Structure 1
């Protein structure tokens, strides 16, 4: 990868409208702010090495994003355009450990290409690069503020502020699985776009025995993608009422405990699963982190969990009264009647077994 970075640094400096020393000076002036975004291991780099690292990484990102927008690829880019490498780089761009502060990449872009940045701001290139994750088709604006690419991808998942339910986090008991809920009559439904609203993946809706969940895909990149968003929330959104992604995967892990649960959601076209059922189920459960009773979750999911638990309890009680109570009243109203019922059932079972054995014997003799 370093070979590509050096090649792209060369093309970056050749295209730049400002001298390299001006770009380096820009990085140096922001060095203290940039260092604050890194772990202690970076702090040991001296100033020159730190500036070189930022310049090399930022120029590669800028050139790659620009080529992706303009499709101005050269013969030298042929290797980097291999599908497997493109997919790997796209995942590398959202790894939390790889992040450069967005502001420094944008600053370098604006300094290097002042005329270009007016009509093609770097935020536009970034939105285009990560458009696959932009399921709500969010629009950028000059005032859009993001920490880095991982933060942008998280923002793409978040409901808009006007649809984001406010409230303190609350304790939520574990809920029944999808298969258990279906057995008692709950319906799962894919939540479709409506009234020009593209729902966030996090916007589940429960009403009148129907749980609507926006469609999502599980593939071999899902775990990396999800783990980085969960890690981002852990360090940058530590308050429980802000950990929307973490809460989402916790709720999914309650609903999907077995392959049977996974099959329910696949059948209803809520999950587009490209993995083995066992692998997919295990992955969902691992993504929830430390799942335990009385977990903290945002108020919206807390209320939904309460409603689902109430649905299950009410239906279970109804099933008991509709089916079991008449049986108890008819066949087990006193110990003698209960013993007679059990004895009769055993006699019937033995009779059926004897009949089956006799039929098997006759079939063998006939052969």
Structure 2
């Protein structure tokens, strides 16, 4: 029996040993498992050997973070024209390529630069240009160079024609859409690239024709501080230029601290306790001050174009200037101030808001949505001080708050006010009758 069991077990053991030997042999034979992994090894090796694009110190262009983009996709997406690589493959924008090519031809005729020379210049700059984009650009070298050359030349020619000629592209309704597309964060070329081509074409530009001056003229409606185009103005691209137009100049930027506005009462609440609102002409557009119970705020126009501009500048600050969010600060403050349609109506009555949207609710929603998901690391200290002063002003007037509460509960509508007055009248009459009856009872008993 034992011998029989042993004979039964041995073949199984032999079979296992045979499989182990075969596995070992397959591992030892060239072209076994190693051969199966060759393609993977080659792919990983190519990944290691792929040249790394150095980030540019001159300029950084980011895609809009998803948490902002999902709130209003159209506000960040070009509607008419693609500039730069991030929307270059958008088929919907291909119709404008012919216009860009015509403008490129006009630029060459105006500048008289050989095409080969222009191509070589962009080729030499290619690595630096690619390094300006936070995203990897999935375009081969020739396609990338052609795109940059055409887009940069188009912008220079567009600015020239805007300054000097009655061009159909400038005057037609599409011109506004083109201008808005040129300020979108994802629709940018580095400014130094356009400047390089401009300097080659016009090596001795006059003050009237300098590229920065032409840029200021083209986007002049956004230049609320009336900044002059001088060499001290440094910009990375056109979204950055609009931010420069709207925030305080570097030498006048308020200090920033890590304190935040913990609580800001709404415009209606502040008005109810006696805060007065005054519209001011601000040097920077965002100077908010409170003086002796008067809150001074610059005028803000609300429309669809303003929303596009604001969203893209805020997206720029959320990616490039996260610790210098002066533009974002302002809309955070306004969001705290505006919570209902009543707040919008009050600020419109004081000429602080100019609402060109459908209604007060649309204005309230726009302010609120501009700040959804915003990351705020610090805030300008003067805003924090204004918030603290307003809180103290509000807290020191409890009797006004009670009067405001009484008014909102019993006199908020004409019908409610009428009902309250009638009720008070009835109570007064009944009280008077009761008093007369009491007096008569006293006299009768005497």
Q: TM-score range by the shorter chain?
A: 0.7 to 0.9
Partner of 1:189: 278
Residue 63 to residue 349, structure 1, CA distance change in 2 (3 Å)? farther
Residue 118 to residue 191, structure 1, CA distance change in 2 (3 Å)? closer
SS of 1:172's equivalent in the other structure is coil
Partner of 1:224: 308
SS of 2:391's equivalent in the other structure is helix
Stretches of structure 2 lacking an aligned partner (at least 5 in a row)? 1-95, 406-422, 432-446
Partner of 1:37: 132
1:139 to 209, 223, 228: 228
8 Å CA contact retained: 2:322, 2:377: no
Q: Report deviation, 1:305.
A: 1.0
Distance 1:126 1:119 in 2: 11
Distance 1:120 1:281 in 2: 42
Distance 2:338 2:161 in 1: 41
SS of 2:161's equivalent in the other structure is helix
Highest CA radius of gyration, 1 or 2? Answer: 2
SS of 1:51's equivalent in the other structure is helix
**Pair 1:313-2:387 in alignment:** no
Q: Report deviation, 1:311.
A: 1.2
Residue 220 to residue 145, structure 1, CA distance change in 2 (3 Å)? same
8 Å CA contact retained: 1:172, 1:296: no
**Pair 1:82-2:172 in alignment:** yes
| Mean CA deviation greater in 59-68 or 296-305 | 296-305
8 Å CA contact retained: 1:18, 1:113: no
Q: Report deviation, 1:141.
A: 0.9
Partner of 2:107: 12
SS of 1:272's equivalent in the other structure is strand
Distance 2:424 2:208 in 1: 82
| Mean CA deviation greater in 164-173 or 221-230 | 164-173
Distance 1:119 1:321 in 2: 62
Partner of 2:84: none
Q: Report deviation, 1:81.
A: 2.7
Q: Report deviation, 1:207.
A: 1.3
Q: Report deviation, 1:170.
A: 1.1
**Pair 1:100-2:189 in alignment:** yes
Distance 1:36 1:253 in 2: 36
Q: Report deviation, 1:39.
A: 3.9
Distance 1:109 1:233 in 2: 28
**Pair 1:288-2:371 in alignment:** yes
Residue 86 to residue 251, structure 1, CA distance change in 2 (3 Å)? same
8 Å CA contact retained: 1:250, 1:288: yes
Distance 1:227 1:245 in 2: 10
**Pair 1:52-2:146 in alignment:** yes
Stretches of structure 1 lacking an aligned partner (at least 5 in a row)? 193-197, 325-343, 353-367
Distance 2:404 2:184 in 1: 54
8 Å CA contact retained: 1:172, 1:295: no
**Pair 1:202-2:286 in alignment:** yes
8 Å CA contact retained: 2:318, 2:374: no
Partner of 1:214: 298
Q: Report deviation, 1:121.
A: 1.2
Q: Report deviation, 1:151.
A: 0.4
Can you list the C-alpha shifts for 1:177-227, whole angstroms capped at 9, x where unaligned?
1111111110010113xxxxx511211111110111111211111211111
Partner of 1:169: 258
8 Å CA contact retained: 2:272, 2:400: no
Partner of 1:62: 156
SS of 2:296's equivalent in the other structure is strand
8 Å CA contact retained: 1:177, 1:257: yes
Partner of 1:330: none
Q: Report deviation, 1:116.
A: 3.9
Residue 320 to residue 191, structure 1, CA distance change in 2 (3 Å)? closer
2:241 to 119, 136, 152: 152
SS of 2:260's equivalent in the other structure is strand
Distance 2:373 2:266 in 1: 18
Distance 1:306 1:295 in 2: 19
Q: Report deviation, 1:146.
A: 0.5
| Mean CA deviation greater in 167-176 or 298-307 | 167-176
